[in-house]
């Protein structure tokens, strides 16, 4: 079975985290997001994967190679300029043989793909769209059905008084190859605005596949944190963090925790980390590889990427800190703050709540 993964986006909503790191490679529990997705597909028998790339492609290719080390075959397709969701798939048409999946590159889910494929085939649909219920659909594309499971209309970001359904497009599709004839080549073309409405006008059967499976769009810092907290607390599933390891603390190779440190899980600590005396780690939290947290520091409900230094008696609350950044002694980083890569927060400084610090700067 084949799948196309749309991983060419710049991840602008995640900045400053994605200024130097492509969105597909941001760490989720210390493994690249894309690695979780590839593993998920392989578990469902999808081992022929096409990656559509545009922004910072070299990092992805260097990490994954031809995919053999991850149990799959990977093909890379470059876009010279962004072609939109459907345009990117059209650009990969020459590699597609038959029915295939498409996945938006910022969705984390544990949807049962085998069940969705069986449904698609039973319905003899040209396209099947995974649907997920949300409390507030006004920020999403709402999918209305004429008669379940037939899709009748798409409403993009409706006003609250216009909402007729809480089912939204979940960013996972199954398509028959011949629908690609409706997409013009080398043209910016979107599934939601262009292809699906065209198929409806032509009388093609588009089905909705509602599911209560775990689903989250990781495209904002808040949601990026939330997916990791959810996984640590057992609210979602990934094969790269098994249930048997969902304990109060997971500690990587060659990492040390001082006996006078206090760890309240769930916490994941990467490899080659040092947790000093009187440190307080309060989960859910993720500590990346090669991090050093010095005496008396407090790290609460936060995500630290690799090679982060947290100085003595510094305090981090519900924040994200990028690779190779340093938080000075006695400093404070407030709730919702996002610190990019290679940032120095000097001793005694204060990063206010919800503040964003761009890479290669000093506070």
Active site residues per annotation: 157
Helix, strand and coil percent figures for the chain, each rounded to 5: 25, 30, 45
Which of 161, 162, 166 lies closest to 137 in space, CA to CA?
Answer: 166
Which segments of 89-230 are extended strands (E)? 100-104, 107-109, 127-133, 141-147, 150-156, 167-175, 206-210, 215-217
Read out DSSP for 264-311?
ESSEEE-TT-EE-TT-EEESSEEE-TT-EE-TT-EEES-EE-TT-EE-
Rounded distance, CA 28 to CA 218, Å?
10
Angle between helices 57-64 and 33-43 (to 10 degrees): 50
By DSSP bridging, strand 167-175 and strand 350-351 are unpaired
What 3-state DSSP class applies to 122? helix
Token digits of residue 113: 């793909």
Q: Return the ∠ at Cα 306 (arms to 338 and 35), rounded to 5°.
A: 95
Distance (Å, whole) CA 312 – CA 278: 10
Residue in this structure with the two tokens 């409403």, named with its chain if needed: 155
């Amino acid at each position: 079975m084949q799948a196309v993964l749309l991983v060419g986006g710049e991840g602008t909503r995640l900045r400053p985290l994605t200024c130097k790191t492509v969105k597909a490679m941001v760490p989720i529990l210390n493994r690249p997001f894309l690695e979780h997705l590839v593993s998920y597909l392989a578990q469902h028998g999808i081992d022929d994967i096409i990656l559509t790339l545009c922004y910072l492609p070299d990092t992805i290719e260097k990490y994954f190679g031809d995919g053999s080390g991850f149990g799959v075959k990977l093909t890379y397709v470059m876009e010279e300029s962004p072609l939109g969701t459907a345009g990117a798939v059209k650009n990969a048409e020459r590699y597609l043989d038959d029915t295939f999946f498409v996945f938006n590159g910022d969705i984390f889910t544990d949807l049962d793909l085998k069940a969705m494929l069986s449904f698609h085939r039973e319905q003899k649909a040209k396209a099947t769209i995974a649907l997920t219920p949300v409390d507030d659909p006004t920020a999403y594309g709402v999918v209305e059905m004429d008669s379940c499971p037939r899709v009748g209309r798409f409403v993009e970001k409706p006003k609250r008084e216009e909402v007729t359904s809480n089912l939204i497009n979940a960013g996972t599709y199954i398509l028959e190859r011949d629908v690609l004839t409706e997409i013009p080549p080398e043209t910016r073309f979107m599934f939601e605005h262009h292809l699906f409405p065209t198929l409806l006008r032509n009388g093609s059967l588009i089905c909705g596949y509602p599911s209560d499976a775990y689903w989250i769009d990781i495209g904002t810092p808040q949601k990026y944190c939330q997916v990791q907290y959810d996984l640590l607390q057992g609210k979602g599933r990934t094969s790269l963090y098994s249930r048997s390891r969902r304990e109060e603390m997971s500690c990587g190779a060659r990492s040390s925790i001082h006996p006078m440190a206090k760890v309240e899980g769930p916490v994941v600590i990467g490899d080659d980390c040092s947790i000093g005396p009187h440190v307080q780690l309060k989960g859910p939290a993720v500590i990346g590889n090669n991090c050093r947290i010095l005496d008396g520091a407090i790290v609460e409900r936060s995500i630290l990427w690799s090679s982060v230094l947290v100085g003595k008696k510094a305090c981090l609350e519900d924040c994200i800190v990028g690779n190779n950044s340093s938080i000075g002694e006695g400093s404070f980083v407030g709730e919702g703050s996002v610190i990019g890569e290679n940032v120095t927060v000097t001793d005694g400084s204060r990063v206010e709540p919800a503040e964003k610090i761009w890479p290669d700067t000093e506070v």
